[in-house]
Structure 1
Amino acid sequence: MTRASLDKQPHEVASMFDDVAANYDLTNDVLSLGQARLWRKEVAKAVDARPAQKILDLAAGTATSSQPFARAGAYVVPCDFSIGMLQVGKKRHPWMPFTAGDATKLPFKDDTFDAVTISFGLRNVQDTDSALREMYRVTKPGGRVVICEFSQPTWTPFRTVYTEYLMRALPPVARAVSSNPDAYVYLAESIRSWPDQPALAARLQKAGWSNVAWRNLTGGVVALHRGTK
């Protein structure tokens, strides 16, 4: 079994997600105490997909995150660099146009999508700033980006409890429900090392996005960042 290191070599991260693909969605529901479904609903509201729009769902995995956009009538492209995730997703949703791709070198033309979104995947990309620029490149003028990512709880006592959960409680829970618990140790470490809300907003602005704002979910455990091209 594989776990990635925090320098986030692409082949390590892809291999790690290949290992956990089959049970990834179920494991996430358990480890997030059911909050993952709530977060997906908030992402769908923020993206606000409309019929005939083109939506790029990056780090889509098995395309669970893509389904609300498809139900809204949009044309959705689930994109991921874990072939294992894409294979599981294709079995579940054979009609969707799954695409293998690296967020830092997207296989799409400039100004293609009305919206680009990524949920819980940006922190696994080796070069965050390059990915934000690529997302900007493939978005149409006037289009939008929505990033849902783990962040920093805003209330200090809760932040302390949350950090303890990540590093102490999460690994044994992962051992009980995941085929690759070491992968979830990496995920916990990557959450702890990820920039807070203002720092990620600044990086979005540096990549060219305007009207950048964020909204905290679950007390800042997760943050929704948005921007416009």
Structure 2
Amino acid sequence: MTRASLDKQPHEVATMFDDVAANYDRTNDVLSLGQARLWRKEVAKAVDARPAQKVLDLAAGTATSSLPFAATGAYVVPCDFSTGMLKVGKGRHPHLPFTAGDATKLPFKDDTFDAVTISFGLRNVQDTDTALRELFRVTRPGGRVVICEFSQPTWKPFRTVYSEYLMRALPPVATAVSSNPDAYVYLAESIRAWPDQPALAARLQQAGWSKVAWRNLTGGVVALHRGYKPQ
């Protein structure tokens, strides 16, 4: 089994997700104590996809996150660099246009999408700033970005408990429900090393996004960041 390191070599991360693809969605539901479904609903509301709009769902994995966009009548492109994830997703949802792609060099033309979104994937990209600029490039003027990512709980006592859960409770639980528990040790480490809400907002602004704001979910365990490409 493969576990990526925090320098996030692309081949290591892709192989790690290939290993966990078959049971990935079920494992996430267990480890998030059922919150993952709530978070997906909030992402769908924030993206606000409309009929005939083009939506890029980056780091889509098996496309569980893409289905709410497709249900609105939008044209959604699930994109991921894990071929294992794409294969599992295509088997489940053959009607969706799964596309292999690296967040730092997206295989799309400039100004293509009305909305771009990435859930729990930006943290796994080796060069975050390049990915944010790539998302900006492929978004049409006036279009929007929504990022759903683990963040820092806002209440200090809860933040301490949460940190202990990540490093002590999560690996044993992952051992029981995942085919590659070491991947979830990486998950815990990468969450602890990730920038907080204001720091990610600043990086979005540096990439060119305007009207950047964020909203905390589950007490800041997860944050939704949104921005717009100037017209």
- TM-score normalised by structure 2 residue count: 0.99
Displacement of 1:52 in angstroms is 0.1
Displacement of 1:202 in angstroms is 0.1
What secondary structure is seen at the aligned counterpart in 2 of 1:147?
A: strand
Displacement of 1:105 in angstroms is 0.1
Displacement of 1:72 in angstroms is 0.4
Displacement of 1:141 in angstroms is 0.1
The Cα offsets for residues 30-81 of structure 1, whole Å up to 9 and x where unpaired, read as 0000000000000000000000000000000000000000000000000000
Q: How far apart in 1 are the matches of 2:42 and 2:91?
A: 26
The Cα offsets for residues 157-203 of structure 1, whole Å up to 9 and x where unpaired, read as 00000000000000000000000000000000000000000000000
Question: Could you say which residue in structure 2 is the equivalent of 1:130?
Answer: 130
Q: How far apart in 2 are the matches of 1:80 and 1:198?
A: 27
Displacement of 1:151 in angstroms is 0.1
Displacement of 1:95 in angstroms is 0.7
Displacement of 1:86 in angstroms is 0.1
The Cα offsets for residues 134-156 of structure 1, whole Å up to 9 and x where unpaired, read as 00000000000000000000000
Q: How far apart in 2 are the matches of 1:95 and 1:64?
A: 13
Question: Could you say which residue in structure 2 is the equivalent of 1:28?
Answer: 28
What secondary structure is seen at the aligned counterpart in 2 of 1:50?
A: coil
Q: How many residue pairs align between the two structures?
A: 229
Displacement of 1:207 in angstroms is 0.1
Q: How far apart in 2 are the matches of 1:67 and 1:49?
A: 11
Q: How far apart in 2 are the matches of 1:97 and 1:143?
A: 21
Matches within 5 A, 1:190-205: 190-205=190-205
What secondary structure is seen at the aligned counterpart in 1 of 2:144?
A: strand
What secondary structure is seen at the aligned counterpart in 2 of 1:62?
A: coil
Structure 1 gap segments, 5+ residues each? none
Q: How far apart in 1 are the matches of 2:116 and 2:3?
A: 28
What secondary structure is seen at the aligned counterpart in 2 of 1:33?
A: coil
Q: How far apart in 1 are the matches of 2:69 and 2:107?
A: 21
Displacement of 1:113 in angstroms is 0.1
Q: After TM superposition, what 4+ stretches of structure 1 lie above 3 angstroms from structure 2?
A: none
Q: How far apart in 1 are the matches of 2:33 and 2:95?
A: 31
CA RMSD of superposed structures (Å)? 0.2
Question: Could you say which residue in structure 2 is the equivalent of 1:88?
Answer: 88
Structure 2 gap segments, 5+ residues each? none
Displacement of 1:228 in angstroms is 0.2
Displacement of 1:107 in angstroms is 0.2
What secondary structure is seen at the aligned counterpart in 1 of 2:141?
A: strand
What secondary structure is seen at the aligned counterpart in 2 of 1:169?
A: helix
